[in-house]
Amino acid sequence: MTQLDTWLANTKPLIPVIVIDDLVHAIPMAKALVAGGVHLLEVTLRTEAGLAAISAIKKAVPEAIVGAGTVCTADDFQKAIDAGAQFIVSPGLTPELIEKAKQVKLDGQWQGVFLPGVATASEVMIAAQAGITQLKCFPASAIGGAKLLKAWSGPFPDIQFCPTGGISKDNYKEYLGLPNVICAGGSWLTESKLLIEGDWNEVTRRASEIVKLSDI
């Protein structure tokens, strides 16, 4: 059982993909998600507030399992670890990222989870050759969605996926119903309007709603 498997055994299989522009939103947003039953939080590095938000959530919301998304370089990877990220998510897969993930684990610096993104069968094979068997499928809906993942279950029976990109409350259950999907990621729980307005009750409501939908 991997670390991700252990986390998912105790939390619902949804990872909100979070973009934080203002650091002041980080802690109340994380508390609102946890209150709704969502504990795995991917804070993207698309904004300058990303790393600081990860650090703030890690310290102030111990019930949350916080990770870094949009990690594209080894430098991003290291900065995310230093900020306290418990898992790393990348939109793609590169030799540099594979090497960095191996390095930080071998030297004992980090024992978290690395979810690199794949969009083709060749990339799945490259990841498997590197010993990475849990992958992000991105952008899922644009490259075939649930039909693609179902097709991949044949040639890649030992690979598990976390699809993101086009995942919503309307198709979430379809993805989770696939045997090779362990969790899914989406941005609708923390859309920018909710953060700007500080509508934390709505964040909690959406989280609670999707938790109920995931009971399949």
Query: What's the average model confidence in pLDDT over 38-49?
Result: 97
**Whose CA is closest to 16, among 210, 215, 212?**
210
Residue 73 pLDDT: 98
* pLDDT above 70 as % of the chain: 98
Check 12, 31, 42, 58 and give the catalytic one.
42
With cut-offs at 50, 70 and 90, classify the pLDDT of residue 216: very low
What are the percentages of helix, strand and coil residues in the chain, rounded to 5?
50, 15, 35
Query: 178 in the Ramachandran plot: left (φ > 0), alpha (ψ -120 to 50) or beta?
Result: beta
Question: Count of CB atoms within 10 A of residue 216's CB?
Answer: 9
* pTM tops 0.85, yes or no: yes
With cut-offs at 50, 70 and 90, classify the pLDDT of residue 213: low
Averaged confidence pLDDT in the chain: 95
Please name the amino acid found at residue 163: P
With cut-offs at 50, 70 and 90, classify the pLDDT of residue 215: low
**What do you get for the CA distance between the two ends of the chain, in Å?**
22
With cut-offs at 50, 70 and 90, classify the pLDDT of residue 210: confident
Q: Are 181 and 167 in contact (CB under 8 A)?
A: no
Residue 1 pLDDT: 82
Sheet with strand 113-115: strands edge to edge: 113-115, 87-89, 65-69, 40-44, 14-18, 184-186
42 is annotated as an active-site residue: yes
Residue 14 pLDDT: 86
Residue ranges covered by each domain of the chain: 3-116+181-213
Residue 212 pLDDT: 78
Check 136, 147, 150, 197 and give the catalytic one.
136
pLDDT at 138 over 70: yes
Q: What is the CATH number of domain 3-116+181-213?
A: 3.20.20.70
With cut-offs at 50, 70 and 90, classify the pLDDT of residue 123: very high
With cut-offs at 50, 70 and 90, classify the pLDDT of residue 102: very high
